[in-house]
Structure 1
Amino acid sequence: MKKLSNDIVLRPRFQLEILGNREVLLRKFLEIKKAPFLVKCLDNHIFIKFNEENNHFGSPQLHLEIDALDDRTSKIYGFFGPNPTL
């Protein structure tokens, strides 16, 4: 069993390999428009944050970067953190 540390991680990061073409995955994120979240895409970067009415000081956002490993597999890099415009 892996021992957990007592460190507090304020900006957790993760990586995930997923079966799927990068362009198809990016298109799926563009099609998602569900409240209470805003989804914005810029190249291979996706930003998911709370909409204006649910956003408050300290509300986190999720930044995803999707890179193609080959034609069928992609790697997603994720980062939870504060909204940089605050």
Structure 2
Amino acid sequence: MELDKNIQLRPKFEQFSPKTIGEIKSTYEKIKTFASEDFKFRNAGNHIWLGVGMFRREFWSPSLHIELDSYEDGRTYVKGIFGPDPILWFIFLAMHFIVGGLFIVFGIIAYSKWTLSQPNSFDLFMMSVLSIIWLLLYFVARINRKKGAAQMRELFSLAHRIIA
């Protein structure tokens, strides 16, 4: 899995497992008892969430959400998506919406002032500042993902042990 060359902020993987969902869940329960201090485990229905344990957790530590879908031939289709802590992801998305909303507001104000032949340099300046902030948010997310790449690989190998 190429984590560093992927442009996505939340890398994904999809694969088939020869196990049924029941076999995957029993393997999950076995691994959960042995690795409970190093990793954080949660499950609900056909969803499994894996995270880094509290003693090893950092600001940029990733989590892995695995979704299981069964096929008639007994195989299981596994979809996984990496991401930051859900609260951190919510804050990150909220910041994007705020910056995007302010960009639209200043764009409307700048257009209104332009049509009324009033000076709109402040509004255009704010739009450029908001664009720079938007890019900075993206690069901060890329840096955090790069810092968490080793832990992502650990979570991926743990998930592979569960589903393979």
Q: TM-score, normalised by structure 2?
A: 0.46
3-state SS of 1:8 partner: coil
Give the unaligned 5+ runs of structure 1. 1-5
Partner of 1:68: 70
Report % sequence identity.
31
Equivalent residue for 2:52, pick from 24, 47, 50: 50
3-state SS of 1:20 partner: coil
Structure with bigger helix share is 2
The question of whether the paired residues in 2 share the 8 Å contact of 1:32 and 1:39 is answered with no
Partner of 1:24: 23
Structure with bigger strand share is 1
Partner of 1:12: 11
| Separation of aligned partners in 1, 2:6 and 2:61 | 21
Structure 1 stretches (4+) deviating beyond 4 angstroms?
none
| Separation of aligned partners in 1, 2:80 and 2:6 | 20
How big is each residue's C-alpha offset from its partner over 1:13-66, in whole Å with a ceiling of 9 and x where there is no partner?
111011111111122112212131112111110000011111111210011011
The answer to whether 1:82 aligns with 2:74 is: no
Higher relative contact order (CA 8 A, sep 6+): 1
Q: Considering only CA atoms, is the larger Rg found in Structure 1 or Structure 2?
A: 2
| Separation of aligned partners in 1, 2:52 and 2:18 | 28
| Separation of aligned partners in 2, 1:7 and 1:24 | 31
Tell me which amino acid in the other structure corresponds to 1:46: I
Q: TM-score, normalised by structure 1?
A: 0.83
Alpha-carbon spacing, 1:29–1:52, altered in 2? closer, same or farther (3 Å)? same
Tell me the number of residue pairs that the alignment of Structure 1 and Structure 2 aligns.
81
Give the unaligned 5+ runs of structure 2. 89-164
| Separation of aligned partners in 1, 2:43 and 2:55 | 21
Partner of 1:3: none
Alpha-carbon spacing, 1:41–1:8, altered in 2? closer, same or farther (3 Å)? same
